[in-house]
Amino acid sequence: MKELKLMKGNEAFAEGTIRAGADAYFGYPITPQSEVLEYLMTVRPYETTGMVVLQAESEIAAINMVYGGACCGKRVLTSSSSPGISLKQEGISYLAGAELPCVILNVVRGGPGLGTIQPSQSDYFQSVKGGGHGDYKCIVLAPSSVQEMYDFPKLGFELAFKYRNPVLILSDGIIGQMMEKVYLDESTPRWTEEEIIKNNSDWATTGKTSDRERNIITSLILEAAIQEKHVIKLYEKYKVIEDNEIRYEKFQCDDAEYLFVAYGSSARVCQKSVQLLREKGIKAGLLRPITLSPYPKKAIKDLSKQVKSIVVVEMSMGQMVEDVMLSVECKIPVNHFGRTGGVIPSPNEVADFMMKKIKGE
Amino acid sequence: MNEEIIIAGFGGQGVLSMGKILAYSGIMQDKEVSWMPSYGPEMRGGTANVTVIISDEKVSSPVLNEFDTAIILNQQSMDKFEKSVKTGGILIYDGNGITRHPKRKDITIYRIDAAEKAAETGVTKVFNMIVLGAYLKIKPIVKLENVINGIKKSLPERHHNLIPLNEKALKIGMENIYLVNIN
């Protein structure tokens, strides 16, 4: 029997990490995601599951604690919001280079700089196109409900360990701060030391035994030819991820003639816009990417053969729109509608924009 | 049923917790709900507002710019949200501190003097429950028993002795709301 609760997105995420069997959370407070650390400190999982909850001295310290924990083959995570995630980028690059599994939550706020504490989606480029230095990719999941904030820590750990890669959960201030119904499932127990050795001793620093070589975890490969080989190996892995892990959701697409593409809270706004347009007889639909990296290019390309035009809605000046344009290969018009700096688009203005584009304005 | 509500007032009036209790009451009645607060600098001593949606269907956008019902508890919120009520919708307000009363003719306007009634009970904290009771009299979207269950879920157990007081406040609200204009 699943437990039903009314929770904030940030609280649901925190509960989700405990129930996903996380070994440690390292964080540093920043609005609009401070409830993650607050919730963990209130619930005190260190007294029940033994999960470590630690407020580090900075975001940089927290991400490097994640590096250390991940090296040991443990399920570790951190969370922050935009400026804090920028600080973590060096660590994320190192984690990706060293092929370490971890979960990182970004509850995005408006930027650039310290920006505003209101919701935004202007960290898309940073999340899916790198962010840190070097040739690497994170797996990026975009929750659009409080339920997904609860579900994605577990999914994130599964993917992170399956591919030994950082998983970034790209949320925003709306999803973090809003309350919705959440169904809480049974807890996954934390791995025992024996299970960690069984699952991860082929790469993690679980203690060398006489029957195997040392496991060395590093992102420093000084010889160019070997570094190139390592990066090519990473990209072969990203190809496998792309072949197997793309996730998206279609909303009223079956008979759609006009399509919205939006993720996270913008996708929620667009659902309402679809309803408003359909009340006026416009056959609108929505495709919501759940994985932003890898991106559901084929699903969008397939729909581009059915619909007349696309409107990409983002709380940014236009970032994901570039990936939609690449997906449709310029075969149909792709327009962007964005509000930024912490301003949230209303369902009506999004619907009005689509109407204008349909009329050719 | 799909009811889209904005509750707006000062920080400290219990706007957010009233919204939370309403949302929890919706869950108790097997409805879909969402609760989206304004957060951040504007909350610090300034205005606070929360959008609550209670629906038979899954909630789409938790953020809206027009509402079936606006519950308005100070002048700033009146200035901001009177215009956001859908035509044919409902505006409920507390007259305390209001200098410019709502003027719209295409909506139905009710008034509940909750601050005054709360002061009469001697426990001003129940202000928000008086407002909630007033709202539920006009829009009985959730049963009173489910509201009580919602309060139980929202309050820590050590405060459950306050439930009868809250129930009384809900009833005061129900008895004292009155019509200001007819749409």
Predicted pLDDT at B38: 86
Q: What kind of fold does domain A250-358 have according to CATH? A: Rossmann fold (3.40.50)
User: What superfamily does domain A3-193 belong to in CATH?
Assistant: Thiamin diphosphate (ThDP)-binding fold, Pyr/PP domains (3.40.50.970)
From residue B82, give the alpha-carbon distance in Å to each of A102, B76, B89: 48, 10, 11
Predicted pLDDT at B46: 72
Q: Do A6 and B32 touch (CB under 8 A)?
A: no
Q: Count up the domains in chain B and report the number.
A: 1
With contact defined as beta carbons under 8 Å apart, do A186 and A51 qualify? no
Residues A30-76 pLDDT 10s: 999 999 999 999 999 999 999 999 999 999 999 999 999 999 999 99
Nearest CA in chain A to B35: A179
Q: Do B63 and A346 touch (CB under 8 A)?
A: yes
With contact defined as beta carbons under 8 Å apart, do A190 and A22 qualify? yes
Q: Do B41 and A275 touch (CB under 8 A)?
A: no
Predicted pLDDT at A283: 98
CA B50 to chain CA centroid, Å, is: 9
Strands (E), chain A: 3-8, 24-27, 52-55, 76-80, 102-108, 139-141, 166-172, 179-184, 248-251, 258-261, 284-289, 291-293, 309-314, 334-338
Predicted pLDDT at A310: 98
Q: Do A179 and B27 touch (CB under 8 A)?
A: no
CATH number, domain containing residue B105: 3.40.920.10
Paired residues of B10 in beta bridges: B47
Domain with B24, as residue range(s), is: 2-179
Mutation for B interface: A117, A180, A270, most B CBs within 10 A:
A180
From residue B8, give the alpha-carbon distance in Å to each of A118, A290, B5, B26: 18, 33, 10, 19
Instruction: Give the 3-state secondary structure of residue A214.
Output: coil
Q: Do A4 and B27 touch (CB under 8 A)?
A: yes
With contact defined as beta carbons under 8 Å apart, do A131 and A158 qualify? no
Q: Do B60 and A117 touch (CB under 8 A)?
A: no
Q: In what order do the strands lie in the sheet with A291-293?
A: A52-55, A24-27, A76-80, A102-108, A166-172, A139-141, A291-293
Predicted pLDDT at A179: 97
**Could you tell me the two tokens for A25?**
């959370």
Residues B32-70 pLDDT 10s: 999 999 866 655 567 889 999 999 999 999 999 999 999
Question: What stretches in chain A show pLDDT beneath 50?
Answer: none
Nearest to A203 by CA among A160, A242, A239, A170: A160
**Chain B residues in contact with chain A using a Cβ-Cβ cutoff of 8 Å:** 20, 23-24, 27, 32-37, 39-41, 59-66, 153
Q: How many CA atoms lie within 13 A of A28 on its CB side?
A: 18
Q: Do B40 and A31 touch (CB under 8 A)?
A: yes
Partner residue facing B40 (CB), from A117, A181, A270: A117
Q: How many CB atoms lie within 10 A of CB B6?
A: 26
Paired residues of B71 in beta bridges: B7, B92
User: What is the C-alpha to C-alpha distance for residues A118 and A267, in angstroms, rounded to an integer?
Assistant: 17
Show residues of chain A in contact with B33, CB under 8 Å: 6, 179-181
The angle that helices B127-138 and B163-176 make with each other, rounded to 10 degrees, is: 50
Predicted pLDDT at A146: 98
**Chain A residues in contact with chain B using a Cβ-Cβ cutoff of 8 Å:** 4, 6, 31-32, 116-118, 173-174, 177-181, 265, 268-273, 275, 344, 346-349
How many A-B residue pairs are in contact by the CB < 8 A criterion? 71
Report the gap between the CA of A331 and the closest CA in chain B (Å).
Answer: 30
Predicted pLDDT at B47: 81
